[in-house]
Every structure is written in C-alpha cells, then in structure tokens.
Structure 1
Amino acid sequence: MQVRVLEMSILLFLVFFPLLSLGQRLEGCEDSSCKSHGPIVHFPFRLSHQPKHCGYDPGFELHCNNKKDTILELPSSVHLVVEKIDYLSQEIFLYDPDECLADKLPKLNLSQSNLRNDYDPMVLLNCSAPLADSDYALVPCLGSSGYKVYVFSTNSFLSFFLSGPCTKIHQYPYSWYTFRENTLQLNWSIPLCRNCEFKGMDCGFKDGIKLLETHCFNRTMMHRGITKQPLIAGVVLGTALVCIIVFSLYQLYLTSRNERESRVRLEKFLEDYKAIRPTRYSYADIKKITNDFNEKLGEGSYGTVYKGRLSSEIYVAVKVLCDSKGKGEEFINEIGTIGRIHHVNVVRLVGFCADGFRRALIYEYLPNDSLERFILPVSSSPGSVSLISWNKLQHIALGTARGIEYLHQGCDQQILHFDIKPQNILLDHNLNPKICDFGLAKLCSKEKSAVTMTAARGTIGYIAPEVLSRNFGKVSHKSDIYSFGMLLLEMVGGRIRMDPKTNNHSKVNSLEWIYRHLEKGEELKIRIEEEGDATIVRKLAIVGLWCIQWHPNDRPSIKEVTQMLEGDGSHLNLSPNPFMATNTPKLNASPLSEDLDVILEIE
C-alpha cells in the first residue's frame, strides 16, 4: 500500500511540477509568420518587427516582403525566401524566387554568419556539348546559346571533361540538390535549442537584458501569453478525489506505457524528419523497389539486405530490419545519425521505411561489397595474386581514416561509431571506402573526452578493452581508434604467406608474430606484387600496432593516424609492445586515463 501511495505522489508531482517550475516568458515573442501557410518563426529567429531579445542576432532576423514571403538576408545582400525551418534538426531551407540560386551563390559569404553549410564542394562546368550521366546535373538558368552548365561533385572524373568540351566556372561548398532543386539548406549549432524542441518546449533567452543564457519554456503556457509564475497550492494534492482519479489513470498508463512511448517517439521523430532528405517510403514502396525482394545481397542478425532500383539508372541497397528490439533506438539512431552526414567516405542514406512495425533503411548501392571480401588473397598457394593491390589497400585504409576523422571532428557533435570492422567498410565501383552501419553509434559533445555507456557494444575482436571493462580506461573516441587498428592489422595478417611446414598457423597469423618480426627488423612474409609494397605493409602494420595500445591515452588521435597514413612511413617508430604483460593493465588496477571526463550521451 505504501508503494502505491508513493507511486501516486510521484505522478502528481510530475503532473504539476512543470507549472511550478515555469519561468518568466519574454514579452512580445509569440510565434509569428508572414502568411497563414508560411513557416512558423520563433527563437532563434525573429521577424524584424519583434524585439531583439526574441531572436539570436546577428543573422537570425527575418522580414516579410510585399508578397508576404518570409525573407532571410544573408551576408553580401543575398535575399532568399524561407521555405521551411526545422528547429529540431536546426536547419533552414531557402530558395531563390528568381529560380536561379546558382547565380547568387558567388555573392554569398557565410564566414561571418552563424548559419553554415556542411556539404562536400561541387564544381560548375560550362560545356559546349550536352552530357548525360547520373554523376552530374544540368543547371538550366546559367546556360547560354550553344553552351550548357552542369554541376559535378569534386570526386567525379573532372579531368576527363576538362580535357574535352568543358571549362570550369566555379567551385562551391554546396550540395548537388542546391543546384538541381534551387534549394539551399543551411544549419546552425549556436544557439543549441535542440533539447528544448525534442521535449516539446520552446527555447529563448532567460534574461531579456543580458541576452546570454538560453532556457526552455513550456510551449502551451508561452503561447497563451502568461508572464507570471503561477502559484499552485497544495490543496489539490490533499484532495482524495483527485488522488483516486490520478492513481487510476496512472495504473492504466503503466499497462501500455512502453509501447505507446515507442510509437510516439518514433512518429514524432519521423514527422520532424520528413522534410529533410532522406525520403520516407511505405512498405509497398519497398516491395516495388526490391521487385518483391527478388535479389538478396546479404543477411545477418540485424536483418536482410536486398538490391533495389529507384529508377532505370539509380540502384540502392535496402536493409529490411528484423523485429525491432526495445524502443526502436537503433533504427532512430541510424537514420538520425547518418541522415545528417555528408562525406565521400560515409555511405549515403537515400531513404527509410517505418510502416507499423516494418522498418527498412535504403542506402546507395555499392557494387563491390565490403572490405572483408578483399582482405584475403585469391589463393593460399605460393605466388597467388591478391584481389587488390597493396597500393589500393593503402587507399582504402586512408579513406576509412578520413571518414572516421569526419565523424570525430567534422560534425556539430562528435559521432562515435563503435563498430568499425571490415564488414562495415563498403567499396564503390572505384574501390573507394565508405563507412556504414551506424546502429551502435553515439553522439556526444566535442568539448568532452569520454562517454558513458550502460553496456558493451561492437563486434568481438574489434572492441576496445575499455568498452568491455571500465578497469582498462574510459570509453571515448579512442575506442574507435582501437577498432581501426585491428582492421589495419587484419589487412596485413590476411596476406601473410603460410609456411606449409608450420602446424601452428594461428601463431604465424597472430598479431604478436607481426610485432616480433618488426621489432627484429625482419621482413614480414607478405605477398608482394609490386615495388614499394613492402613499405606499405610495414606502414600499415606499425600504424595498426599504435592504434591497439591497451591504454587509450597511448593511442594516437584519428588526425594523427591520418597523417601517418598519408606519409611515406620512413619516419614511423615501432610502438611499445601491446602484448607484453607489463603493458597490459590488470583488472584490479586503476585506469590510466583519469583525465578523460565522463559525459552523458546526447539524445
């Protein structure tokens, strides 16, 4: 009985606490819009007629033109119409009413603005002959008589076109869709109001004079114009009738809470996400795209991957997930994380499906499968030729490192992958690597060094020691470094030439065997096809050994790893032996990474 009374008291506290804790709302900052169907304007944006404390100036002031369009003036007097503001993902979508956004981009300078664009650069080419390919798009408004303008990604084969009918006009740090759809997508990281939006609350300045600290306000009460903190008497808590009603509702709530929370959370997330690429598809669409799941590409514990086609030229890989566990965190985590990433070495999420309990993820199709397929040689017999050269393996290792560096340092929040392994490194038609599978990834602040986790995650053989046991240190970005080091050493170990006279092949293949031979200055018994391969093998092995040091502080950062892989390897020193008992921390020892601050995950 005491437990039930306690539960009831907690519920009553939760019901009325928001009213008691509601802070004062700043005057004149109600939600506004230029027209009935226009974008809703509230903090950090404000309309020009509203007080300055309603917005986070400079750069967030909007105004209405004579057509009642919502206008944002960007630096260098570039005026664009606001199509949508997504306060949850902190992105704003703009378009040019003259339908030639590409013509205004050279005037745009975002260096002094709080708004920015995180996409890979694109190049405009002026061509005297028409082109037809899915790697570039036509920009009609910039063409002239006898010439057409196309937009290319910087990783396309530009030299081929520049030596032919095309000349380079300009390079822009904007996405493909900016040119093709006349839409500019910008985002902001300051002020950070995403947590308020996720809770269904409004964000604003806590003090209308200092204009420094932001605060979350109850959305319903704000819009009614309440400016004084309400005083809630304790009489309600003592009323028996209210207690009985609330207790009954609470008992009913408990019976279906988990399922309801899961659906509400997922639907709210997807509703906020629907205006941002990737596209949401129905399950019927998924069946059509995959031709009724006709061609299977792979299968695992997470689900099954099928080959699909969005059009006659665009192929995709559709991952149909198994029954979702828990509250769908991995599904939300995957699309919420990868959906905001735009990098040449990270797989692109084209779309997703959340149709009842049927869930699927649609990725760009990469024809060469994963790195796992290319690590081992074609044959174990002497003199056999490897599937790909050591030079190409070095290219894959460097591209993967750059992808991890982007996740750790190139996004608004640091993204820790926690499952770096050969199976999660996909290869395109040119064998360029792309990191995939962000179901275990976590977002955390760049200012902190470590992350707390409730359970170990990853794949055995690639999991850093500190992820399995906190006695080895604090979990941080260095955990991904360990997994990447194991990947490098598996590249090297998979090519070791087996000695037919040796029965203990596992010893020959061991990481300690690789370290011993490097320590003695002996050449690794690796299959060499070209001059310079031995140098590449040594570099990959040394970098891998540095990455798998037991203590997180002894491992290099991903930026240092990238620099080592970019160099020729001649100045690389061998790491301390990670396999010596003196270098392996004991389970009852204190961690040596006490300078890593424990932080919470960003939801």
Structure 2
Amino acid sequence: MGLAACLSIRGALRCIMLHMFRSTFSQGNTEEHSIHLSLHWSKPSCENCEAKGKYCQLKNNGTESETECFRSNRQGHGVSRKLIVAGIVIGVLLVLFLIIGLYTVLSLKKRKKGDQKKIEGFLEDYMALRPTRYSYADIKKITDNFKKKLGQGGYGTVYKGKLSSQLVAVKVLENFKGNGEEFINEVGTIGRIHHVNVVRLVGYCADGYRRALVYEFLPNGSLEKFISSGNQSRTLGWEKLQQIAIGIAKGLNYLHQGCNQRILHFDIKPHNILLDHNFSPKVSDFGLAKLCSKDQSVVSMTTARGTIGYIAPEVFSRNYGNVSYKADVYSFGMLLIDIVGGRENVRAAEQDSSQVYFPEWMYNQLEKGEEIEIRIEKDEDTKIFK
C-alpha cells in the first residue's frame, strides 16, 4: 500500500503502523540496532480538480501521485448545521407553545373553579331562602351548647348562634300551647315569605318534643328597648323613628296584600319589631298568626289572641264588630303612639299603668280639650310627629 493512501482519514492510522513495521525490519532484528522511522509522501497534483471546483485526494489503490476528484462535504455539514439550528428553534417554539397551553389550561381551570364556587355560593344562598330542618344536636352545635342568651319570652328562650358564616338567633320553645299551633304557624307562615321588613326564618327543629326556630340575627334587638325609656326621639331621632314606622307599615302591607294568602299577625307590638344594623324594622314572632284568603273580609276566631294594650276591641269582644285584617292596623296605631312616646304620659300620671287603658286616657284628654304633650326640641320635627 502506498503512503499516499494515508491522506484518507480512514487509512491514516493503518498506514502509519505499516510503515513503522517496515522500517523496523529493514534495519535488522538485533537489539543493538536503533530504530529509525521516517514518513514521507509526495504532494498530489490537484489543479484539474480545483479547476472543476472540486477537491482532490489520492486514490486508495493508485500510485503515489495518482489522484481523484470529489465534492466537498462542507456543504452537507452546513446543511446539517442549519437543520440542527432549525430543530432547536422548533424545539424552543414547541416548549413555548406547551407553556402557553399549560398556562391557558390552568387559567381556564382556575376560572371554572371560581365560577363553580360562585354557583355553589348562589345555591347555598338559594337553599337558605327555604327553612332548613335541623336536629337538636345541630341546634346545640349552632348555639355552642346554648352559651350566649339573648332574651326570654313567654314561649321560650332566645340564644345567639352561628351557622357557617352567618349569625342567627335561635328561639328554643319551652311552653307549648294549642297542640303545637304556635310552632306550626311560625314555620307555615314566615317560612314561605320573604320581605325586607319581615324577619327571615332560616330553619327549625322538630326533634321529638324538642322544638326550636332559627332566625336571622338582628344586632339591635327589639324596638321595645329603645322606646321603653321614653327617650327614643333623642336616641334615634325623629327621622329614624319615621323610617321605622314606615318600614313596619310596609311589612304589614306585604302580609295583608303581598302574599298568596293574607297573613294576620295578631300580635303587633314593640317587642315583636326587630331592628337590623341600620335600624331597619322587621316584623317577627308569627306564633299567633292566622291565614285567610284575600277575599275573606271576616275571620272566624274561637279565642282572643294578642297582647293587652295592643289588641283591637273586636278581637276580645264581638260587640265591637267582626274580626278582620284591620285588627293588625289597630295594633299598628297603638305601636305608633308608643313610638312617639305618648304612652309615657300615662305612666307618669298613674302609679299603676297596667290598670290604665291608654286609648281611653287619650279619649278623655281630647274630650277635655287637653293635648297630649310630647317634648319636641326642634320645630322641624313637629311635622314628623304629627
């Protein structure tokens, strides 16, 4: 094999080893001989190839100066390099598209999760519009085992409670009358109506002999505690008192005209008017309520119901006429007199106010030509009072 073949990259190492072998044995086999290695090859003639724009190389099986032409592989390397660069760019773009797609999917998933949460919140509020039945164990949990007492009335004790994130007032019924009629009236009437001036029944408990009613919590309590002192005009102001009176009237009008069946309350009094955080009034306590059709002008009653001092005369005596929704209107009128502070004049004049029938006292005052004196500090409030 000629040394010229060593120009080939594949045969370079093989040619070097072959010439080393030949040089070694041409000097003899004795140990005293020095080994001399010399490499040389002739320069090939490449003018013809270069004229054709090609490269040249020595032929593998040719003479030492015999060459052959070939095209350069550098163009192929350039193409390969371009392909590699193109592949990298495409890979980067694919990664970017993948990231953008993943971000979009996660954003849509988050948005759908938010929408689902919004829908669930709406459904919870929607379900809350209808009273929920609770067990007695639920009532104990809601009230933290009856920890905070808000008040006590003739039919039970009221406790403060918490239902998820909503504050509630739980009335645990203790004295049952009329075979549970009060409980049925409360759930059957207030449980089906919704009005801004009527307290909302959140739920109820009828677990054996244990019964309770769960209402929305109204932080300012009943109207009675604001007017019992006689300083309601100073505490609330005449404008707020007028707004409270109008709100109560709207609530009664809804009960009488706005429902499918007319609801007669029969116990309108300051104790049963609750005030929210804005002092907006809400009619409450429907234990004595009675349903009747709107075209029914007369309501049949076997026994009187209501609170002395607020009961319409026809409710406890048929000599005054038939009972109708106007009995609530009478009670509302008595409530208005309480709101403006008129009843306080009777309490100041009589030691035992329970023995005084207030409308009779008012009638006697008017018959004698005397006015019901109400202290009004500002002249502009006189119109509201009247």
CA distance change for structure 1 residues 341 and 178 in 2, over 3 Å: closer, same or farther? farther
CA distance change for structure 1 residues 315 and 182 in 2, over 3 Å: closer, same or farther? closer
CA distance change for structure 1 residues 459 and 496 in 2, over 3 Å: closer, same or farther? closer
Deviation at 1:374, TM superposition (A): 1.2
For 1:374-432, what per-residue CA distance to the aligned partner results, in whole angstroms no more than 9, with x for missing partners? Answer: 114466xxxx9732112111111111011000000000011111111110001001110
Report the counterpart of residue 441 of structure 1 in structure 2: 289
Q: Is the 8 A contact 2:264 2:328 kept in 1?
A: yes
Report the counterpart of residue 123 of structure 2 in structure 1: 181
The whole-number CA distance in structure 1 between the counterparts of 2:327 and 2:295 is 17
SS in 1 for 2:234: coil
SS in 2 for 1:394: helix
5 Å matches for 1:391-540?
391-494=239-342, 510-511=358-359, 514=362, 524-538=372-386
Report the counterpart of residue 96 of structure 2 in structure 1: none
RMSD between aligned residues: 3.5
CA distance change for structure 1 residues 358 and 184 in 2, over 3 Å: closer, same or farther? closer
For 1:287-339, what per-residue CA distance to the aligned partner results, in whole angstroms no more than 9, with x for missing partners? Answer: 1111111111111220100010112x411000000153343222111101001
The whole-number CA distance in structure 2 between the counterparts of 1:424 and 1:385 is 20
How high is the sequence identity, in percent, across the aligned residues?
64
Deviation at 1:461, TM superposition (A): 1.1
Report the counterpart of residue 189 of structure 2 in structure 1: 337
Report the counterpart of residue 309 of structure 1 in structure 2: 162
Aligned partner of 1:364 among 201, 210, 216: 216
CA distance change for structure 1 residues 411 and 527 in 2, over 3 Å: closer, same or farther? same
Deviation at 1:518, TM superposition (A): 6.7
CA distance change for structure 1 residues 322 and 430 in 2, over 3 Å: closer, same or farther? same
**Which structure features the higher share of helix residues?**
2
Deviation at 1:492, TM superposition (A): 2.6
The whole-number CA distance in structure 1 between the counterparts of 2:260 and 2:246 is 23
The whole-number CA distance in structure 1 between the counterparts of 2:243 and 2:369 is 25
CA distance change for structure 1 residues 350 and 522 in 2, over 3 Å: closer, same or farther? same
CA distance change for structure 1 residues 368 and 276 in 2, over 3 Å: closer, same or farther? closer
The whole-number CA distance in structure 2 between the counterparts of 1:357 and 1:508 is 39
The whole-number CA distance in structure 2 between the counterparts of 1:402 and 1:178 is 32
CA distance change for structure 1 residues 316 and 534 in 2, over 3 Å: closer, same or farther? same
The whole-number CA distance in structure 2 between the counterparts of 1:467 and 1:495 is 22
The whole-number CA distance in structure 2 between the counterparts of 1:495 and 1:461 is 10
Deviation at 1:475, TM superposition (A): 0.8
Unmatched segments (≥5 aa) in structure 2? 1-112
The whole-number CA distance in structure 1 between the counterparts of 2:358 and 2:203 is 41
Q: Does 1:374 align with 2:226?
A: yes
Deviation at 1:504, TM superposition (A): 7.5
Report the counterpart of residue 148 of structure 2 in structure 1: 295
For 1:249-296, what per-residue CA distance to the aligned partner results, in whole angstroms no more than 9, with x for missing partners? Answer: xxxxxxxxxxxxxxxxxxxxxxxxxx9821111101111111111111
CA distance change for structure 1 residues 328 and 377 in 2, over 3 Å: closer, same or farther? closer
Q: Is the 8 A contact 1:377 1:495 kept in 2?
A: no
Q: Is the 8 A contact 2:342 2:372 kept in 1?
A: no
Report the counterpart of residue 137 of structure 2 in structure 1: 284
Aligned length: 273
Larger Rg: 2
SS in 2 for 1:181: helix
Which segment drifts farther, 516-525 or 348-357?
Answer: 516-525
Q: Is the 8 A contact 2:309 2:358 kept in 1?
A: no
SS in 2 for 1:527: coil
The whole-number CA distance in structure 2 between the counterparts of 1:505 and 1:292 is 40
Deviation at 1:358, TM superposition (A): 0.4
Which segment drifts farther, 490-499 or 418-427?
Answer: 490-499
For 1:514-542, what per-residue CA distance to the aligned partner results, in whole angstroms no more than 9, with x for missing partners? Answer: 5577789976422224342222222xxxx
For 1:567-594, what per-residue CA distance to the aligned partner results, in whole angstroms no more than 9, with x for missing partners? Answer: xxxxxxxxxxxxxxxxxxxxxxxxxxxx
The code of the aligned residue for 2:123 comes to E
Deviation at 1:493, TM superposition (A): 3.6
The whole-number CA distance in structure 1 between the counterparts of 2:347 and 2:177 is 46
Which segment drifts farther, 504-513 or 322-331?
Answer: 504-513
CA distance change for structure 1 residues 528 and 140 in 2, over 3 Å: closer, same or farther? farther
CA distance change for structure 1 residues 309 and 494 in 2, over 3 Å: closer, same or farther? farther
The whole-number CA distance in structure 1 between the counterparts of 2:271 and 2:224 is 5
Report the counterpart of residue 77 of structure 2 in structure 1: none
Q: Is the 8 A contact 1:493 1:510 kept in 2?
A: no
CA distance change for structure 1 residues 346 and 385 in 2, over 3 Å: closer, same or farther? closer
The whole-number CA distance in structure 2 between the counterparts of 1:294 and 1:184 is 29
Q: Is the 8 A contact 2:226 2:235 kept in 1?
A: yes
The whole-number CA distance in structure 2 between the counterparts of 1:491 and 1:183 is 34
The code of the aligned residue for 1:413 comes to Q
SS in 1 for 2:168: strand
For 1:215-246, what per-residue CA distance to the aligned partner results, in whole angstroms no more than 9, with x for missing partners? Answer: xxxxxxxxxxxxxxxxxxxxxxxxxxxxxxxx
CA distance change for structure 1 residues 182 and 463 in 2, over 3 Å: closer, same or farther? closer
